[in-house]
Amino acid sequence: ATTTRSLDGSSPEILLQRPFVYFGQTYNNIYVNHNGHLTFNSPYSSYMPQRFPLYGPIDLIAPFWTDVDIRQTGLVLYNQYTNSSVLQQATRDINSYFPNLNFSADWVFVATWYEVPYYPMTKTTFQAVLISGGQKSFVLFNYGSLAPTVWNAGYDTINSFHHFTIPGSFSSSATGNNSTFSLGSNVNVTGRWAFQIDSGPDGCHFYPISGATTTRSLDGSSPEILLQRPFVYFGQTYNNIYVNHNGHLTFNSPYFSYIPQRFPLYGPIDLIAPFWTDVDIRQTGLVLYNQYTNSSVLQQATRDINSYFPNLNFSADWVFVATWYEVPYYPMTATVSQKIICIIHYYAIYCIVHTDKKLKEYSKDKMMEGTYFQNDFKPL
Cα–Cα distance measured from residue 92 to residue 76, given in angstroms and rounded to the nearest whole number? 26
Tens-digit pLDDT profile for residues 134-169: 889 999 999 998 988 888 999 999 988 888 999 889
**52-56, 108-112, 306-310, range with greatest mean pLDDT:** 108-112
DSSP state of 79: E
Query: pLDDT higher for 191 or 342?
Result: 191
Helix (H) or strand (E) holding 243: strand 236-244
CB 32 within 8 A of CB 6: no
Strand partners, 128: 111, 141
**Strand partners of residue 60:** 39, 156
What SS3 class is residue 274?
coil
Report d(CA 30, CA 9) in Å as an integer: 14
Q: Looking at residue 150, what is its pLDDT?
A: 81
pLDDT of 168 reads: 85
Q: What are phi and psi of 376, to 5 degrees?
A: 70, 25
Res 65: pLDDT: 96
Q: Please report the pLDDT score of residue 38 as a whole number.
A: 98
Q: Round to the nearest angstrom and report the end-to-end CA distance of the chain.
A: 8
Residue 309 has pLDDT above 50, yes or no: yes
Confidence category of residue 207, pLDDT binned at 50, 70, 90 = confident
Distance, in Å, from the CA atom of 247 to the CA atom of 258, rounded to the nearest integer, reads 9
User: For residue 201, what pLDDT band results from cuts at 50, 70 and 90?
Assistant: low
- Pick 209 or 316 by higher pLDDT: 316
CB of 221 closer than 8 Å to CB of 242: yes
Query: Which residues, other chains included, contact 217 with Cβ-Cβ below 8 Å and sequence gap of 6+?
Result: 245, 281, 282
Segment among 178-192, 203-217, 270-284 with least mean pLDDT: 203-217
The Cα 13–Cα 75 span in angstroms is 17
Give the confidence band of 103 by pLDDT, cuts at 50, 70, 90: very high
Closest CA to 74 of 62, 66, 83, 84: 66
280-291 pLDDT per residue, tens: 999 999 999 999
- Whole-model pTM: value is 0.59
Per-residue pLDDT reduced to its tens digit, 57-87: 999 999 999 999 999 999 999 999 998 899 9
Is a pLDDT exceeding 90 seen at residue 197?
yes
Domain boundaries, the chain: 14-200, 212-345
- Whole-angstrom CA distances from 174 to 128, 181, 362 are 17, 6, 21
Q: What is the mean pLDDT of residues 186-204?
A: 83
Confidence of residue 204 (pLDDT cuts 50, 70, 90): low
User: For the residues of 183-226, what is the DSSP string, one character each?
Assistant: H--SSSSTTEEEEE-SS------PPP--SEEPPP-BS-B---EE
CA distance linking residue 58 with residue 79, whole number of Å:
23
Average pLDDT over residues 176-204: 84
pLDDT at 351 over 80: no
Q: Which amino acid is at 210?
A: S
Amino acid code (one letter) for 169: S
- The region of weakest confidence among 20-29, 73-82, 250-259, 350-359 is 350-359
- Whether 370 shows a pLDDT value over 80: the answer reads no
